[in-house]
Structure 1
């Protein structure tokens, strides 16, 4: 498996254009916002992997525990011949599904989709080496734009893990789920991981760890903009903030200016002023109730057949079938 076997649906120029658009729109809006996808350059991806190992960050461990216990059942129910993973990253937890589906004996293909070509180049090589009997074809694309390019047929199971669906606001989630359903044939499957609503005393530390790794990860978006667009942000001049929004039932990550700043983004010929204490929102992470997940899936045309939580009831994995 080499990089040449990847299907590229976005180019470096596409990514640069999207970054320019997001930064111009986000920094000139009120309030200022940036989408979380720009955290994930090579350094950002390393920091996120470190976050998943922190004691405060339970979602990765909780979801892994569910998949460890239930992967065989998922494989037996779906008997998928093609496993598609959206936002795949390193595809680490996905190996539990690959192992289980391989034991069932019907899995023939694995299709990871991720916006990061570098992440896919490595993960597809690793997966192809570990599972020589499976066809592995990575797709470099955006799961909100490129679902129609996924290979058709093959009794597919689409996995969307890690709670990533929580980065979408409700209208975006509805549109995304409808698009997934439109691309699946009746009887095909969607497996989705969602973090559940719980005490802010558990939620907030997961996004504001004592070691400061999440703070470094949050500030990384400023480093990306500095490097790619010639901006002059002082990352250390912005405080990492994680806030539980009880009305929307989501965590917001923000960067708060420690003093008044004037930032220049040379590639956009843009000057942006930050007041002392002004905040830039960099991520939302919605939390869910099990029946709410079921209702959102039903509205998109899916029937929930199975749902599992970890032993502490912190995280939910839902298996749903396209109607």
Structure 2
């Protein structure tokens, strides 16, 4: 069994044994899931990608000037499209030597690395296939390094998990190195729900792709069509929950996890949380994790926040 399948088996055993079934959002992604997410980013309802890109396009030069980064590390790089704005800014500033994209999907990473190498001759590119939510390990590249964690993906962590993750990033950085963080902001519920439940049904297919990943890696017999996609705004916790709700009573066999799982009609799997943030909360969580916010930007409509933080002395 591959390391990826072993990790999924662990999550399936834990998540499907819980009173409220769940799986981590990272299991949306294989080659098909990555392609579907790229489709989502182009949907009219899905504002976060456009809002973040607007901010990065406006501030890439300032990011380069403040950080003077020689190495750009991107966590969850995907296609690295927005990263090109940072690469261009750092290269124009004259400091960029190395780009290190990390992604859990080897196929998506291979495509991104090949494209970056073709378009940025002379740039050292070290693609790393790694689940950065579990272990960042040693990051290649010479300091000063700038770690970019974009797209609002930090919102997929529960609050305690966010602090643990941010501390793991701080642990691999030297004092004075940098973190660029994208955070989707709290706004009206209608806009939020539409962003996760588009009219074309692309997000629904992306959500159900998680079941296909379980089928492929663990030999399960999920019928994805027997589960309905839902996006729910939890106003108290200020996060969107994505769910897959069984439309009928069904039993699923998962040989790779040694499990048979029963779903009652209407029972759901929580497949993602996507927390929405306020500027003060972002600064507080970064401070608790060993970072000091040096810059805070939003798009013109104040839908999405981008923070640039410096790793500070611990203790």
The equivalent residue for 1:66 is 55
Cα distance in 2, alignment partners of residues 311 and 96 from structure 1? 18
Cα distance in 1, alignment partners of residues 87 and 249 from structure 2? 51
Cα distance in 2, alignment partners of residues 143 and 150 from structure 1? 11
The equivalent residue for 2:168 is 179
Describe how 1:26-37 pairs up with structure 2 within 5 A.
26-37=15-26
The equivalent residue for 2:35 is 46
Cα distance in 2, alignment partners of residues 238 and 274 from structure 1? 10
Q: Which aligned runs of 4 or more in structure 1 are off by greater than 3 angstroms?
A: none
Please state whether the residue corresponding to 2:137 is helix, strand or coil. Answer: helix
1:286 aligns with 2:275: yes
The equivalent residue for 1:128 is 117
From 209, 221, 236, the equivalent of 2:225 is: 236
The equivalent residue for 1:223 is 212
Shift of 1:206: 0.3
Describe how 1:207-218 pairs up with structure 2 within 5 A.
207-218=196-207
Cα distance in 1, alignment partners of residues 2 and 239 from structure 2? 33
The equivalent residue for 1:3 is none
Shift of 1:152: 5.8
Please state whether the residue corresponding to 1:133 is helix, strand or coil. Answer: coil
Q: Can you give the 5+ residue segments of structure 2 that lack an aligned partner in the other structure?
A: none
The equivalent residue for 2:6 is 17
For the structure 1 residues 116 and 190, does the alpha-carbon distance in structure 2 shift closer, same or farther, using more than 3 Å as the test? same
Cα distance in 1, alignment partners of residues 96 and 288 from structure 2? 29
The equivalent residue for 2:129 is 140
Cα distance in 2, alignment partners of residues 234 and 45 from structure 1? 20
TM-score w.r.t. structure 2 length?
0.97
Please state whether the residue corresponding to 2:2 is helix, strand or coil. Answer: helix
Cα deviation code 1:137-191 (max 9, x no counterpart): 0111111233232126421011000001110111111011111112111111100
Cα distance in 2, alignment partners of residues 205 and 244 from structure 1? 10
The equivalent residue for 1:100 is 89
Cα distance in 2, alignment partners of residues 26 and 153 from structure 1? 39
Cα distance in 1, alignment partners of residues 232 and 248 from structure 2? 20
TM-score w.r.t. structure 1 length?
0.94
Are the equivalent residues in 1 in contact too, given 2:143–2:177 (CA < 8 A)? no
Shift of 1:68: 0.6
Shift of 1:27: 1.3
Q: Can you give the 5+ residue segments of structure 1 that lack an aligned partner in the other structure?
A: 1-11
1:79 aligns with 2:61: no
The equivalent residue for 2:263 is 274
Cα distance in 2, alignment partners of residues 268 and 163 from structure 1? 31
Shift of 1:277: 0.5
Are the equivalent residues in 1 in contact too, given 2:71–2:141 (CA < 8 A)? no
